[in-house]
Amino acid sequence: MPLKIDIQRALSKIENIYPPDDLILNYRDFLKNRDYLHFYQYNPEVLNKLLKLTIELWESKQRISRSSLIFVIKRYIKVHRPGIVLDDEIKSMLFELFKQIVFHENLDLHPGSIEILKKKINYTLMGERLNDVQLVWMCENAFASEFIMNRVLRYPYKTGVISSWVKDNFENDQLRLRRAEMIGWMLNEDPDFVVPRKVLSDDFKHTNELDKQIVQQYKDEMIAVYDLNKELISINQSFRLDKEPTSNPFFNWGGEEYLENVYDLDLPSLNLTRRFYPVPRIEEQKQGIMPDFPKLEENFIESFDLIFRITMIWGIAYSHLDVDKKSEMIMTYHLDEIGYTTFHVAQKINSPELLRMLLGNC
């Protein structure tokens, strides 16, 4: 016999009722309907009351599941997108919850659970038009969280608030990895804008410094793992351990001072910054495959014009200019050597003109 809740879910999905305005007036109502709400049609009044209840209970001492409230709100919105339009009052309440969760982080939860909640509440604001007061708050606090930064740089509407903030922060080191998005906002205000080549050169140098720090941290962690492994093997010479050492070729670096056998220890991973151009590698004794920074700099200088063109093309794509204007501008930067970039951008901005141009060059 199926569970009662599974039967009720199946029935709710089939019936797809339009819920009454007073469906959820208190936390008990929420518990009664939370497993079925996403099967109901969209009623803005239900969402409005659910959000008011959530905000009312958020800082109360009442024993509630804040995670469950956010999960249900996000799911109800997601199921009905993109066919719904959130009114200003609903967006205002979502924005308040976004601040509470993403900025204030006033939750007595495991850090991993808080990150999940951030993603849920972040989703509810994606694609929504905000007022200038809300946008100013986003800009003022953009560096406090990657979620806030993304809501600023990926805001889907043209606005002078963000363009002005981008202009003021165009050479901020914390934004050098978001260069194309920054260019897009500059182009919104000035379609003739061209990124200074010195900025791209400084971006490259800054990214290299970040990667060098990451590499050094990786090497330090590898040494720590090696030292711990050496200590464990030393202990095992006197005491029998429950777990036998396992062979790991990663540590077979070819020197008597290095050990071929290690215990099942977690090895660090080398996670470099993401770039749209390849990073040459070199094998270093005792360290494995590492970035070849001298070769990377040489390649960057040789390919600088292509990197400049690719960056401008993506900047144009991220702008809020109309598709015809974007296509016209991209054609001025296109070369056959970067045809794949133009191809991907043409699909992203839905430009038949660019695709026809590429076909003509085949």
Tell me the two tokens of residue 67.
């995670």
Q: Pairing relation of β-strands 281-284 and 246-247?
A: unpaired
What is the model's pLDDT at position 3?
A: 85
Cβ burial of 278 (10 Å; 0-12, 13-18, 19+) is exposed
pLDDT digits (tens, 9 = 90+) for 101-133: 999 877 777 888 899 999 999 999 999 999 999
CA angle at 269 for the pair 264 and 272, rounded to the nearest 5°: 175
d(CA 251, CA 121): 44
Query: Is-contact 85 47, C-beta < 8 A?
Result: no
Which residue, chain included where needed, has tokens 């151009």? 277
pLDDT digits (tens, 9 = 90+) for 329-353: 999 999 999 999 999 999 999 999 9
What is the model's pLDDT at position 337?
A: 94
Answer whether the bond into residue 82 is a cis peptide, omega within 30°: yes
- What's the pTM value of the predicted model, to 2 decimals? 0.85
Cβ burial of 84 (10 Å; 0-12, 13-18, 19+) is middle
What is the model's pLDDT at position 259?
A: 42
Among 294, 299, 272, 297, which Cα is nearest to 282's?
A: 294
Provide DSSP, 25-39.
SSHHHHHHHTTTGGG
Q: For residue 279, which amino acid is it?
A: V
- Those residues whose C-beta lies under 8 Å from the C-beta of residue 137, and which sit 6 or more positions away, are 99
Estimate the crossing angle of helix 146-153 against helix 160-168, to 10 degrees.
Answer: 120
Among 87, 287, 329, which Cα is nearest to 184's?
A: 329
What is the model's pLDDT at position 295?
A: 95
- Those residues whose C-beta lies under 8 Å from the C-beta of residue 269, and which sit 6 or more positions away, are 218
Helix (H, G, I), strand (E, B) or coil at 6: helix
Q: For residue 119, which amino acid is it?
A: K
The 8-class DSSP code of residue 262 comes to E
Which residue, chain included where needed, has tokens 């040494």? 223
The 8-class DSSP code of residue 101 comes to I
CA angle at 27 for the pair 23 and 33, rounded to the nearest 5°: 45
Chain centroid, CA 277 distance in Å: 20
What is the model's pLDDT at position 11?
A: 87
Per-residue pLDDT 10s for the chain (362 aa) are: 788 888 888 888 898 999 999 999 999 999 999 999 999 999 999 999 999 999 999 888 888 999 999 999 999 999 999 889 899 999 999 999 999 999 987 777 788 889 999 999 999 999 999 999 999 999 999 999 999 999 999 999 999 999 999 999 999 999 999 999 999 999 999 999 999 999 999 999 999 999 999 999 988 888 887 777 776 666 555 544 444 444 444 444 344 344 444 455 677 888 999 998 999 988 876 667 889 999 999 999 999 999 999 999 999 999 999 999 999 999 999 999 999 999 999 999 999 999 999 999 88
Query: Is-contact 69 57, C-beta < 8 A?
Result: yes
**Phi, psi (degrees; rounded to nearest 5) at 247:** -75, 135
How far lies 302's CA from each of 167, 220, 252, 293, in Å? 29, 33, 37, 14
Provide DSSP, 130-178.
--HHHHHHHHHTGGG-HHHHHHHHT-SS--HHHHHHHHHTTT-GGGGGG
Among 339, 334, 332, which Cα is nearest to 362's?
A: 339
How far lies 277's CA from each of 141, 165, 179, 304, 361, in Å? 31, 28, 14, 11, 24
Helix (H, G, I), strand (E, B) or coil at 24: coil
